[in-house]
Each structure stands twice: as C-alpha cells, then as structure tokens.
Amino acid sequence: MLADVYTPVGIYLRLRDRFRDTVLLESTDHHAAENSYSFICINAIAGIQITNQQELEFKLPNSNPEKVALQKGNSLPDLLWEFMQRFDMEAEDPKSAQFAQGLFGYLAYDAIPLFETVSFKQD
C-alpha cells in the first residue's frame, strides 16, 4: 500500500478495537528506510508473558496458561527457543515470506536484565 494514503499507525488504530491482541511492530533500523517493514499483528495464536522476575507464563491455544519458574538453570533465551520449537512453520511464498519468519513480539525495558549481564540500580 502506498504510505501517502495509508500509514501503519492509521491502519493499526482502525484495527485495535475490532480484534484482540493487536500490536503494531515497526522496524527500528534507521540507516536504510528501503528495508524497513511494519507488521500489524492481530489475534495472537500464542504468547509468552513474564509476570515478575521469577516467573514466566506460556499461553497456548486451547489450554490454560503454563507457568515456569525462572531459575539460574533456566535461561530466558533457551526457554524462548523451546517455545518456538512447539510450532511448525510453512512457507507459502518463499520470496515474500523470507523476511517475516520467526517470533514476533516486543520486550519492555524491564526485560533487559533477563537477556543481558547488566543489572539496574534499585532506588
């Protein structure tokens, strides 16, 4: 679609009240605008939520949320990888789908210590 007529934010604003779990994800690569994409995700089929620093919750279709304790032996990147392996992917058109393969979502600022070896000062 031409960006002059429809913008990703405008489309997202029209869809967010009609569909559950609507999220707008945009590329943050500021160097090359020609390779930037916007994704509007609606009706999530599964999800992961970190409710606190000690617990992770997997949400899968047609089942109750599954809680997993975050301990020293459970690294979050490994748990995310295991979660992704629960799904089988099919590519219909390899050319148009090659940039859109993988796990889509967002992380908040508070998740940084769960992925990196940094810690924040406590006020």
| Number of domains composing the chain | 2
pLDDT (average), residues 70-90: 79
> Do 77 and 111 belong together in one domain?
yes
Q: Which pLDDT score, from 0 to 100, does residue 116 have?
A: 78
pLDDT at 1 over 60: no
The amino acid at residue 70 is L
Q: Which pLDDT score, from 0 to 100, does residue 96 have?
A: 60
> Do 9 and 59 belong together in one domain?
no
> Do 56 and 115 belong together in one domain?
yes
39: closest CA among 84, 95, 100, 82? 100
Quote the domain boundaries for residue 6: 1-44
**Average per-residue pLDDT for the chain:** 77
Q: What is the distance between the alpha carbons of residues 21 and 44, in angstroms, rounded to a whole number?
A: 6
Q: List Cβ neighbours of 51 (8 Å cut-off, separation of 6 or more).
A: 57
pLDDT at 90 over 80: no
Are the C-beta atoms of residues 8 and 24 closer than 8 Å to each other? yes
pLDDT tens for 3-42 read 567 788 888 999 998 988 888 887 766 666 666 778 888 8
Query: 69 forms bridges with which residues in the sheet?
Result: 55
